[in-house]
Amino acid sequence: MGGLTVYEKLKKLLPNENYIYFGDLKNSPYGEKTKDQLIEYARNIFEFFMKKEVKAVVMACNTTSAIAYETLKTEFDIKIYPIVQSCANVLSLMEIERLGVFATPVTINSHIYAREIHKYNEDMQIFEIACPEWVKIVESGEEHYDSTIDVVKKYLDKMMENNPQKIVLGCTHYPYLRNVLVDVIGKDIFIDPSIIFSNYIKYDLQANNLLNPSKQIGEEEFYVSANPLDFKNAAEMFYELKEEPKLSDLIHI
């Protein structure tokens, strides 16, 4: 569901493209799944997209980008945009020495942000902290509860011991905690990768002559692996769906 944060920005940048969105509610959350599980989930979704004859796939999930991308890029002959790898080059160019990263346990344990950024900038220090509770907090709409603020403060206090100049919100759900984070720390030093990512995709599609030449507003289709009504209701905090998504029966997932 968090991928809708990327989709919302991409839709504004490229309104003439046709979009197919897949939300894997059956297997979410991804943040604590095994590597083999994540690769299998992502592979099934890619096969679904191939049947839809898409021209490119956006991996709007930090966790699957960290774990599944390297495998999938060898299996599918299609343009793929993984959020972490696509943003790393831009982040590496920032004029800072100390960068924090909040993300899910799987993403943090993979050290994908540090590894990818260091391909371009070996000198930048990366401080990574996993926040396993944050996805559930956002999806349940509990970001302003006193108990939530205590949880957020716990991780933020730990991160600030490293004195980061900027902090990446390395899960598509986490930007919805930005106001809470800013209130706790008293300043806004947070980076939403979906903004960087969406601009990167637009530039790359244009550079590869893959933009839709149509001047018409593009179509959009939403699919889920389970609970379409739950998805539509919960999605309202990210993006307003015009109708309930379709329950996919085209793949085994």
Same domain, 44 and 97: no
d(CA 123, CA 201): 27
Give 140-188 pLDDT, tens digit per residue: 888 778 888 999 999 999 999 999 999 999 998 899 899 999 999 999 9
Does residue 233 sit in the same domain as residue 222?
A: yes
Q: Taking the complete model, does pTM exceed 0.85, yes or no?
A: yes
CATH number at residue 228: 3.40.50.1860
For residue 57, the enclosing domain spans: 4-82+196-247
pLDDT of residue 161: 97
Would residue 253 count as lying in a domain?
no
Sign of torsion over alpha carbons 40, 46, 48, 51: negative
Tell me how far CA of residue 11 lies from CA of 3, 152, 215, in angstroms: 12, 30, 14
pLDDT for the residue 250: 59
Nearest to 230 by CA among 61, 38, 59, 28: 28
DSSP 123: T
Does 34 share its domain with 93? no
Assess if residue 24 is contained within a domain.
Answer: yes
- Helix or strand holding residue 165 (H, E): none
Average pLDDT for 230-249: 87
Q: How confident is the model at residue 252 (pLDDT cuts 50, 70, 90)?
A: low
Q: Same structural domain for residues 42 and 135?
A: no
Q: What is the pLDDT of residue 253?
A: 54
User: Do 140 and 105 share a domain, yes or no?
Assistant: yes
Tens digits of residue pLDDT in 80-96? 999 999 999 899 999 99
How many other C-beta atoms are found inside a 10 Å radius of the C-beta of residue 88? 23
pLDDT score of 46 more than 80: yes
Residues 92 and 179 in one domain: yes
pLDDT tens by residue, 7-16: 999 999 999 9
Q: Residues with catalytic annotation?
A: 61, 171
- Longest CA–CA separation in the chain, Å: 51
116 and 21 together in one domain: no
- Report the chain's terminal Cα–Cα distance, integer Å: 16
- Of 148, 169, 193, which residue sits at a domain end? 193
pLDDT top residue among 230 and 55: 55
Whether residue 189 sits in one domain with residue 140: yes
How many domains are contained in the chain? 2
Across 30-44, 45-59, 234-248, the highest mean pLDDT is recorded for 45-59
